[in-house]
Amino acid sequence: MRVTHAHRIGGIGGSERHLLTLLPGLAAAGIDVRFVGLDMAGADPFYAELEQSGVPFERCARPWSLASALRRGTPSLVHTHLVHADVYGAIAPRAPIVSTKHNPDPFRAGAWRYAERVLARRARRIIAISEAVRRFSVDEVGLPSEKIGVVHYGLDALPEPWGSNPELPTPDGAPLLLCVSRLARQKGVDVAIHALSEIPDAVLLVLGEGPERPSLEALARELGVADRVLMPGRVGDIATLYLRADVVVHPARWEGFGLAMLEGMLAGKPVVATNAASAPELVVDGVTGYLVPPDDASALAAALRRALAEGKALGPAALDRARSEFSVERMVRGTLAVYERVSGRASC
């Protein structure tokens, strides 16, 4: 089976990390897989990693060239990811289409939902990366439930380093709370900073960039915790910091999947997250970490204190769950089952 994946690439976020794991896994399973990308600023690191994996790819500088690229190679199936690929995939070759929905972004429930419903008619099957995304796609966007199934992201290991880390001035013995997140309101980093003010001596390390940086830095100063909030941006060796952390905190207000939670589990760390969207699918409350209501800094602080005290029990359970429920093999197997259904090799 020859399958072409398509996505707009502007860096390495959750959907891009997913592709960098899924595509080599499909190739190892015997699929003739290739990738076509619509380039944005910051695309080079993605292609550097994809090239290392041995998956062939084509880069497109203009949107209309994406459809032309998808026609080349006469794929037996086209697999699209997110809006731009969905649109241009729909006008590409008459190959069957599988579309993956990666997030419950509120814009999908606005006027765009009418266009998305039309595009869904072209797709033979739709993959949601979590049950939360599946529910949103059906209930809020209005996509046909009979077409949508869930295939969770999968990981077997923490990201390989691409560079060194900056010096981080963390006091010896201070509990380290790690938040891997874009600095955007969706991610709730402001709630974590409020919670930090209730956890004396702990340090909050936030890895990521985004538009909220100035307001988050101002909030930390206002609460008197600026010396305990470290925001170095993107770092070259994130795995080392996962392993160094005591607890991973994920206070997102909504989330498609939350790879940072899974990475924290793979590092053997308890995860404290908001009980919203996909988090309950990863974190088992009281077993692998704790779930708290969104926008409740005091509840988050209390759960973080418990996780710091109980990490030796929660961390191993988190690692066991990551390995058993969210492996790459499981993700690949679920994706292949969708392909087989679309191609008629499995019964409907």
The class that CATH gives domain 2-154+327-343 is alpha beta
* pTM, 2 dp: 0.94
List the chain pLDDT tens, one digit each, 348 residues: 999 999 999 988 899 999 999 999 999 999 999 999 999 999 999 999 999 999 999 999 988 888 889 888 789 999 999 999 999 888 876 799 999 999 999 999 999 999 999 999 999 999 999 999 999 999 999 999 999 999 999 999 999 998 899 999 888 889 999 999 999 999 999 999 999 999 999 999 999 999 999 999 999 999 999 999 999 998 999 999 999 999 999 999 999 999 999 999 999 999 999 999 899 999 999 999 999 999 999 999 999 999 999 988 999 999 999 999 999 999 999 999 999 999 885 433
Looking at the DSSP assignment, which residues form a beta bridge with residue 26? Answer: none
pLDDT on residue 88:
87
- Compute the distance between CA of residue 96 and CA of residue 124 in angstroms, rounded to an integer: 6
Domain boundaries, the chain: 2-154+327-343, 176-325
- Can you give the pLDDT at residue 348? 31
Residue 44 identity: D
Residue 282 burial (C-beta neighbours within 10 Å; 0-12, 13-18, 19+): buried
Work out the angle between the directed axes of helices 259-266 and 14-28 (0-180°, nearest 10): 60
Distance CA 108, CA 119 (A): 13
Six-digit token string for 23: 């595509």
Distance separating alpha carbons of residues 165 and 235, to the nearest angstrom: 5
**pLDDT score, position 347:** 37
Whether domain 176-325 has CATH 3.40.50.620: the reply is: no
Q: Are 29 and 336 in contact (CB under 8 A)?
A: yes
Q: Residue with structure tokens 């869904």?
A: 120
Q: How many residues does the chain have?
A: 348
Give the pLDDT of residue 297.
Answer: 98
What DSSP line would sit under 295-338, residue for residue?
T-HHHHHHHHHHHHHHHHHHHHHHHHHHHHHS-HHHHHHHHHHH
pLDDT for the residue numbered 93: 65
Neighbours of 233 (CB within 10 A): 12
Question: Measured between alpha carbons, how far is 191 from 72 in angstroms, rounded to an integer?
Answer: 48
| Fold equal for 2-154+327-343 and 176-325 | yes
